[in-house]
Chains A and B, each alone.
Chain A
Amino acid sequence: MKTPAKILAAQVSRIEESGRFYPRSEALPTWCPGCGYFGIHQGIVDCISSLGLPLHEIVTVSGIGCAGRYPFFSKTYGLHTVHGRTLPAATGIKLAKPGLTVFAIGGDGDGLAIGGGHLPHIARRNIDVNYVLFDNSIYGLTKGQPSPTSPLGSKTKASPYGTVDQPLNATLMALTYGASFVARLFAGDPKGITDALIQGVQNPGFSVFHVYTSCVTFDKTFKTWTNLKKWVHPLPAGYDPTDIHVAFDQVLKDDFSMGIIYRRKN
């Protein structure tokens, strides 16, 4: 008889045989079916495979929340820290062993609320860490409260009359703090994530990947797949990501243009 366990095992072995998913661990993601995080995961996995990075020379660091679980689903070395402290831990790892490739994984709550004070400082130190910010505009693992990026008026269990605080714009923050590489990406486009990561990992400084994603369980209104797919679009043709003024203009006038927003000329 086919038990769910057997079906899963068969799927895992197929994944392993394909080789494409080699950097995935045997632990299957605990995210909800349909979650945008699967797309981001695939983007990271493909980046690691494409660059041929040895898994034992990669460390994946995270904080708390749905995104915080990421290291368990990766075959690299992992450090799952406490809420909001991803970037300091990543700083320690990278300064201790500069030869390691460090991915810092965090959600919008983890990275912009409790951990928001660390973002400017890792950026100004320009530590060579690749920060992938999973932005679904909601607190998922605590079952649906507003996050710092929730759109104005978001109704959640903790904001039954709608939020009254302005949302933060992580892409704009990363630019303002002086990150040397800033990309805005969409979880529904793993290929785009992979392409940006490949460039960002090679940037010898702090790189921010701000990824829009949907929470299929707690957000039925704003960042739904339907809406996101409707809203996102590529950066305009001929866009020059090495010009910081152009980058600011673009981010200020358009929240949904996707791609490499800024890349410091070395």
Chain B
Amino acid sequence: MSEVDFTVEVCGMAGDGTIAAGGLINEAMSLGGFSVLGFDSYPAEIRGFGRCVTKSRIGSTDIVALGEQTHALISLNDEQSRSRAVFLDDHALVFFDSNPPSYVSEEKSLLSTLSNNVEVFGLPFGDLAVASGAARSKNLVALGGFAAVTGIDPSLFRQVILKKFKAKGDRIVDINIKSFDAGYDYALEKFHDRLKNWFAKSGTQYDSDKVMMSGNQAIGMAAIEAGLKLYFGYPITPATPIMEYLAKWLPEKGGRVVQMEDEISSIGAVLGSFYAGERAMTATSGPGFALMTELITHGVMAEIPAVIIDAQRAGPATGLPTKTEQSDLHAAVFGGPGDSARIVIAPTNVEECYYMVLKSFQLAEKYQTPVIVLTDFFLDNRVENLHTPRASDELRACWNVFPDESPGNRYLRYEDTSSGISPRAIPGMQGYNYTATGLEHTESGSPDYSSEIHTKMTEKRHRKIRNALEDLQQPTEFFSSDQLDVGVIGWGSTFGSVLEAVAKSKKNGFRVGALKITSIFPYHSDIIKAFMAKSGFVLIPELNYEGQLANLLERLNSKPVERLNLVTATPIPPSAIQKRIEELLEVGA
């Protein structure tokens, strides 16, 4: 296998060390110079009978989406792993415990569910772990067996094990390395005639600038780089890791994390902090976002900046807390009373999480409005290895629009300028005292309910948001061409799958292209319209029922856009998009 595109899953019961094993695979393969995209799914319950699955896709070229067929399954609990059998590639490898601690009945065993072509490798995980010093390290034994059979350099695993367990002391490192080696040696000896050596000559080079990072980590790092002073939040899956990351690292930079009593107070305090002139942020998910909407519209009306991360999860209300979906787009763009236009942006990968969160602070400051960054469970929790993101001075710069040094006769906080942006004074600045209000107000900030004022000020606020387009990232076209049979528009975490599907369709000889949209509102209608105009069919795949971006953009197209809406609460598979593209062309032909 000169070109590597390999997907491995680790599956076990909560407590089996599944997530840890998956993490070690990601780190080791990244260290080996491969491109890695990893994603864990875990139950919403903490203990008990929850199933944990980690999926890692490893490639010698860039990986942009999760793999669909699994080439290797490492089963730490056969009963849980049975459900993964359907995702196995025809010639997949399965690693399992040949001497499991508890009896699993024949009809419930993993082996009975596997097709004939699948190759099985039984290792006594538990026994080898106990012999190495601790029963808990059976996941490391499993990794050893996996590395030996697939031909991964064992020193990569030893390095990442050392890095992961260093803080816990030499004894723990020893037990884990010994367990790994025990599995490795056992497999080499027992399966010497069945070794695959798939990873032996990958032809990739280790890039020391690459780091393994999740979307949530990237968001936390970016906020710190942006000079975040205060983080206010309330725990909610999948946004909580952002708060936990900041709680650990923000105090080192002189900032503070306050776990508030609810989401309403979190956004209230963010507005208070920005009003007083300091950068603040909150992160939440759909249900918490719903609670925030009233104050978000206050930010719109009183023209106070705010940065809000909405890490989307599946379903309305409590929904599916640990599953992914892109169904808060309507809420982010339209949620709340009145004509309350605000800025909504959506990164499509981990690297963009970093750069777009940095940018969101500048946008919030310059346009004096809440900026909502839409991510989702898949984007927040997946890990990618990427070039260490670096904040330029330009991206860190403060974009506050202050009034002139010398106050005139009368400072107009809400002055109706041609750009719609009014200079914003900060408490402490002498001579500019004003009252910010969510009531409709005159240019000076006095409450006023006249038709003239409401018309004029509504128009001013919308003009301001329209003008924000000049600072918002333009859509990016991939596989650009003058004429397309199918043009696919993607956003958020789905875009990786769009890109892969379009690339494959193109290879199959179809005239297809992709457009990535990260500025959800306001959006670049001219560019989108032009892309739509040259596409025979416009397809917008989304992880929501209605097609929320499609609803927003459809008016730009001369005929209805084609939708692909999945509510499986799992990442959209590239093959589903590819299938739809090719179906459209068959019907169209």
Give the interface of A toward B (CB within 8 A): 27, 54-61, 69, 71-72, 74-82, 85, 87-97, 99-100, 117-118, 120-121, 125
Instruction: Establish whether residues A88 and B264, one from each chain, have CB atoms under 8 Å apart when the complex forms.
Output: yes
A89 CA to B265 CA in the complex, in Å? 8
Instruction: Establish whether residues B431 and A80, one from each chain, have CB atoms under 8 Å apart when the complex forms.
Output: no
Shortest Cβ-Cβ A-B pairs, 9 listed: A92-B272, A88-B268, A78-B435, A92-B269, A88-B265, A96-B278, A92-B273, A89-B272, A96-B273
A141 to chain B, nearest CB (A): 12
A232 CA to B437 CA in the complex, in Å? 35
Q: What are some 18 contacts across the A-B interface (CB < 8 A)?
A: A57-B427, A59-B427, A72-B435, A77-B425, A79-B275, A90-B272, A92-B273, A92-B274, A92-B276, A93-B273, A95-B230, A95-B256, A96-B277, A96-B280, A117-B265, A118-B265, A121-B260, A121-B261
A239 CA to B402 CA in the complex, in Å? 50
Q: Mark B197-226, 1 if CB is under 8 A from A, else 0.
A: 000000000000000000000000000000
A56, A72, A97: the one within 8 Å of B430 (CB): A56
Given contacts A72-B435, A117-B261, A121-B265, contact A92 B427 (CB under 8 A): no
Residues of B contacting A118 with CB < 8 Å?
261, 265
**Nearest opposing residue in chain B for A78, CB measure:** B435
A58, A87, A89: the one within 8 Å of B275 (CB): A89
**Nearest opposing residue in chain A for B261, CB measure:** A121
B539 at the binding interface (Cβ < 8 Å): no
Instruction: Establish whether residues B436 and A78, one from each chain, have CB atoms under 8 Å apart when the complex forms.
Output: yes
Give the interface of B toward A (CB within 8 A): 229-230, 232, 256, 258, 260-262, 264-278, 280, 294-295, 298, 302, 425, 427-439, 446-447
**Nearest opposing residue in chain B for A89, CB measure:** B272
Instruction: Establish whether residues A77 and B433, one from each chain, have CB atoms under 8 Å apart when the complex forms.
Output: yes
A232 to chain B, nearest CB (A): 32
B235 to chain A, nearest CB (A): 15
A96 CA to B434 CA in the complex, in Å? 18
**Nearest opposing residue in chain B for A61, CB measure:** B272
A121 CA to B258 CA in the complex, in Å? 11
Instruction: Establish whether residues B295 and A77, one from each chain, have CB atoms under 8 Å apart when the complex forms.
Output: no
Instruction: Establish whether residues B436 and A93, one from each chain, have CB atoms under 8 Å apart when the complex forms.
Output: no
A57, A61, A85, A96: the one within 8 Å of B295 (CB): A85
B256, B268, B428: the one within 8 Å of A81 (CB): B268
Instruction: Establish whether residues A78 and B434, one from each chain, have CB atoms under 8 Å apart when the complex forms.
Output: yes
User: Can you name 10 extra interface pairs (CB under 8 A) apart from A58-B427, A97-B428?
Assistant: A27-B446, A56-B428, A72-B435, A77-B433, A78-B435, A78-B437, A80-B436, A90-B272, A93-B427, A120-B261
Instruction: Establish whether residues B434 and A91, one from each chain, have CB atoms under 8 Å apart when the complex forms.
Output: no
A170 to chain B, nearest CB (A): 18
A61 CA to B268 CA in the complex, in Å? 11
A27, A79, A100: the one within 8 Å of B436 (CB): A79
Residues of A contacting B270 with CB < 8 Å?
92
A89 CA to B427 CA in the complex, in Å? 14
Residues of B contacting A72 with CB < 8 Å?
435, 437, 446-447
Instruction: Establish whether residues A82 and B298, one from each chain, have CB atoms under 8 Å apart when the complex forms.
Output: yes
B187 to chain A, nearest CB (A): 56
Residues of B contacting A69 with CB < 8 Å?
447
Instruction: Establish whether residues A82 and B294, one from each chain, have CB atoms under 8 Å apart when the complex forms.
Output: yes
Residues of B contacting A79 with CB < 8 Å?
272, 275, 302, 435-437
**Nearest opposing residue in chain B for A77, CB measure:** B427
Residues of B contacting A117 with CB < 8 Å?
261-262, 265
Given contacts A92-B275, A118-B261, contact A81 B438 (CB under 8 A): yes
**Nearest opposing residue in chain B for A120, CB measure:** B261
Residues of A contacting B260 with CB < 8 Å?
88, 121
Instruction: Establish whether residues B268 and A99, one from each chain, have CB atoms under 8 Å apart when the complex forms.
Output: no
Most buried by A among B258, B260, B268: B268
Given contacts A56-B430, A82-B294, contact A91 B265 (CB under 8 A): yes
Residues of B contacting A56 with CB < 8 Å?
427-433
